[in-house]
């Protein structure tokens, strides 16, 4: 072996030893990094498990934390949820505004028995007496609280066909499908009594129910109730064009009401 070959062999062995020595210290460093990462991940793993099964109250479950024993907390007195102020009495109840802020409830009787005075305060047996079944609407508004447009009537037709047509029929004669199957027949919209009823009465009926008709307040929002009433007026006019029904829209700017 020549001296040159021997030198190369020695240099190669030194290089291999150096590489093993340089690689040796890296293994403990890598192991330490892995251990540190595992320690750091332990709290996050526990938190993730707690979020998967976190403590909470189920509806109507009692609570030992609150003094009243209820888990659901009542609203703070005097607060009103956003969008539920209902300051416009005519729009949200169909009842007239009364002076001085003295507003009564919506449970005013609208039907008086036969022979009772039709005018409040009139004496029994006076000349102003009501015929049988006379309907009085002392607090119901007689006009829409906003101008009625073709768009509103079209909206009312759509809502009417969803909620009303099954009982009241397509033309408002009270001959809907459920009536043909034995349900109580509702009054026709085309009688003199129903044509002369103010629009506020219809709003009250949709909101609170009447006779066999239940309340639809949960299904129909206030603006859609007025739209349905506008369509009912259109039905009444279509069947009796000679006399326009009561409740024409006032010629004044529309009030702003969020939908």
Domains: count for the chain? 1
Q: Is 76 in a helix, a strand, or coil?
A: coil
Q: Of residues 7 and 139, which shows the higher confidence score?
A: 139
Residue 242, domain CATH: 1.10.760.10
The structure tokens listed for 243 are 């006399």
Confidence of residue 75 (pLDDT cuts 50, 70, 90): confident
pLDDT of residue 216: 96
Domain for residue 150, yes or no? yes
pLDDT of residue 197: 93
Confidence of residue 237 (pLDDT cuts 50, 70, 90): very high
Domain that residue 147 falls in: 137-249
Domain for residue 206, yes or no? yes
- Of 253, 226, 239, 90, the residue nearest 152 (C-alpha): 226
CA distances (Å), origin 188, targets 88, 193, 194, 232: 30, 10, 7, 11
- Of 59, 85, 80, the residue nearest 70 (C-alpha): 59
pLDDT digits (tens, 9 = 90+) for 78-133: 898 888 888 899 999 999 987 644 444 433 333 333 333 333 333 333 333 333 33
pLDDT of residue 186: 94
Model confidence at 16: pLDDT above 70: no
Q: Are the C-beta atoms of 209 and 153 separated by less than 8 Å? A: no
pLDDT digits (tens, 9 = 90+) for 29-69: 677 777 776 656 655 555 555 677 777 888 888 888 888 99
Q: Give the residue-averaged pLDDT of 222-250.
A: 82
Domain for residue 145, yes or no? yes
Q: Give the residue-averaged pLDDT of 208-227.
A: 95
The structure tokens listed for 216 are 């639809």
Domain for residue 42, yes or no? no
Domain for residue 210, yes or no? yes
The CA dihedral of 180, 181, 182, 188, to the nearest 10 degrees, is -30
pLDDT of residue 32: 72
- pTM for the full predicted model: 0.58
pLDDT digits (tens, 9 = 90+) for 139-177: 999 999 999 999 999 999 999 999 999 999 999 999 999
Q: Give the residue-averaged pLDDT of 3-27.
A: 57
Measured in whole angstroms, how far is the alpha carbon of residue 85 from the centre of its chain?
14
pLDDT of residue 182: 92
pLDDT of residue 189: 95
Q: Dihedral sign, CA of 70, 73, 76, 80? A: negative
């Amino acid at each position: 072996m020549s001296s040159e070959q021997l030198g190369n062999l020695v240099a190669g062995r030194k290089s291999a030893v150096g590489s093993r020595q340089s690689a040796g210290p890296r293994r403990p460093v890598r192991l330490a990094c892995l251990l540190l990462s595992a320690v750091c991940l332990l709290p996050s793993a526990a938190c993730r498990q707690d979020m998967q099964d976190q403590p909470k109250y189920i509806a109507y479950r009692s609570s030992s934390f609150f003094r009243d024993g209820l888990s659901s907390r009542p609203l703070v007195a005097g607060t009103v949820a956003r969008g539920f102020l209902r300051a416009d009495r005519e729009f949200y109840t169909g009842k007239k505004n009364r002076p001085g802020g003295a507003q009564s409830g919506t449970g005013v009787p609208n039907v008086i028995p036969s022979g009772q005075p039709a005018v409040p305060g009139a004496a029994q047996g006076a000349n102003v007496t009501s015929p049988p079944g006379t309907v009085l609407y002392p607090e119901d508004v007689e006009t829409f609280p906003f101008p009625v447009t073709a768009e509103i009537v079209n909206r009312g037709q759509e809502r009417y066909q969803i909620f009303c047509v099954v009982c009241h029929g397509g033309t408002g004669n009270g001959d809907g499908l459920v009536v043909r199957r034995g349900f109580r027949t509702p009054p026709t919209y085309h009688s003199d009594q129903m044509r002369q009823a103010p629009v506020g009465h219809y709003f009250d009926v949709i909101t609170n129910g009447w006779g066999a008709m239940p309340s639809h307040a949960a299904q129909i929002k206030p603006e859609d109730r007025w739209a349905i009433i506008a369509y009912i007026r259109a039905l009444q006019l279509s069947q009796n064009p000679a006399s326009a029904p009561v409740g024409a829209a006032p010629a004044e700017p529309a009030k702003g009401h969020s939908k």
